[in-house]
Amino acid sequence: MIPISVEPYEIQTQLVIDRAENVFRQIVERTPEGLGAADKETLLMTFNSVVIEHFRAICILCRSQMAIGSAFALFRPLVDAALRGEWLYLCASPEQMERFMMRSFDLGSIKFSTMAGDVDRAAGIGRRMEDFTGVYRQMCDFTHTGHDAVVRRLAPDGGIEPTYPEEKIRLLVTQAASVALLHFIVVCKATAHDDVVPRLMELLPLLEGAPSVL
């Protein structure tokens, strides 16, 4: 069944969502206005817009408790948007950029692990995207209604309804916030807004935790 009413979250879960929503507000308040100085910057900012939208949707869906499965389904598109935007900006050749804009270059033709390694080396802020390589298959599972997405709807009492433990919801929200924040730091550096980076970095200790099985 689809939940109509739910029990309130534990305090810990509410605090995690509060922190994530604060990260969202910090990003929105500091997002550069207008287009980038060049097409590369503008394209990166466009991908960032997708990242922020997915992040916001995950926060809203988890806060509502009414569509947790949909929140999990959005995590992989969020990671993909951050990774692909950064790869195009940091790693792609001018020809690849042009072909992408002409719709003749499929970013899906590059393995996630390859793209993640390229981006982490080029961004210079540590191992980040590569950490998702080991869990990417499960991320796809939730997005494309695979095994894990389905069995999470088999309730212990024999019913069919979402059964996502709160610790998994907290992990999802924290990781979504971390991906969005670190991606935005790359965007700020790329668009000459380094002045806002120290304030953003202060938020990272609240979001610590390596990617894990969702």
Tell me the per-residue pLDDT of 180-199, one tens digit each, with 9 for 90 and over: 999 999 999 888 888 999 99
Residue closest to 97 by CA, chosen among 27, 55, 53, 36: 36
- Output DSSP code: residue 192: T
Coil, strand or helix: which one is 74?
Answer: helix
In 85-109, which positions are buried (b, 16+ CB within 10 angstroms) versus exposed (e)?
A: bbbbbbbbeeebbeebeeeebeeee
Identify the pLDDT of residue 31: 86
Report, in angstroms and rounded to the nearest whole number, the Rg of the chain calculated over CA atoms: 18
Q: What is the mean pLDDT of residues 87-93?
A: 96
Q: How many CB atoms lie within 10 A of CB 50?
A: 16
Do the Cβ atoms of 211 and 175 come closer than 8 Å?
yes
Residues 27, 28, 34, 35: is their CA dihedral positive or negative?
positive
What are the tens digits of pLDDT across the range 104-125? 999 999 999 999 999 999 998 8
% residues pLDDT > 90 (the chain): 74
- Specify the pTM: 0.92
Identify the pLDDT of residue 108: 93
Q: What is the mean pLDDT of residues 31-51?
A: 84
Residue closest to 115 by CA, chosen among 141, 160, 164, 82: 82
Q: Is the pLDDT of residue 4 over 70?
A: no
Coil, strand or helix: which one is 154?
Answer: strand
Separation CA 27–CA 179 (nearest Å): 12
